[in-house]
Amino acid sequence: MMPEVINLQEIPVYMDCPVCNGTGEIEVEEYKPQSFSRDVGEIYSHTEICDECLGNGEIYRPCPACGENMTLADGKDMLVCRECREEQ
């Protein structure tokens, strides 16, 4: 039983990345002028890998109270980590 508890304390809980909404890619707009002497141009867009989740679409779910990453030992559906619950 003890190794299972220790294992749960090390497995992080993930959530969808708020920057890319879980897709792993973001659309970036790039402004290109028509020429050096004119300020008129066009806007081009392309997709890039999300910097927040590095293209995975998921990030570690942080505890809103202390900012530490939550683990399965804290519970998947819990709002705050175990340490913050014990302090309250």
* pLDDT at residue number 57: 94
Per-residue pLDDT, averaged over 9-21, amounts to 88
How far is Cα 88 from Cα 83, in angstroms, rounded to an integer? Answer: 9
* pLDDT at residue number 46: 94
Cα atoms found within 13 Å of the Cα of residue 7, Cβ hemisphere only: 4
Q: How confident is the model at residue 7 (pLDDT cuts 50, 70, 90)?
A: low
* pLDDT at residue number 77: 79
Number of domains in the chain: 1
* pLDDT at residue number 23: 94
- Kindly state the DSSP code that residue 20 receives in the 8-state scheme: T
Span 20-71, pLDDT tens digits: 999 999 999 998 888 878 778 889 999 999 999 999 999 998 888 888 888 8
Q: Can you give the residue range of the structural domain that contains 81?
A: 2-87
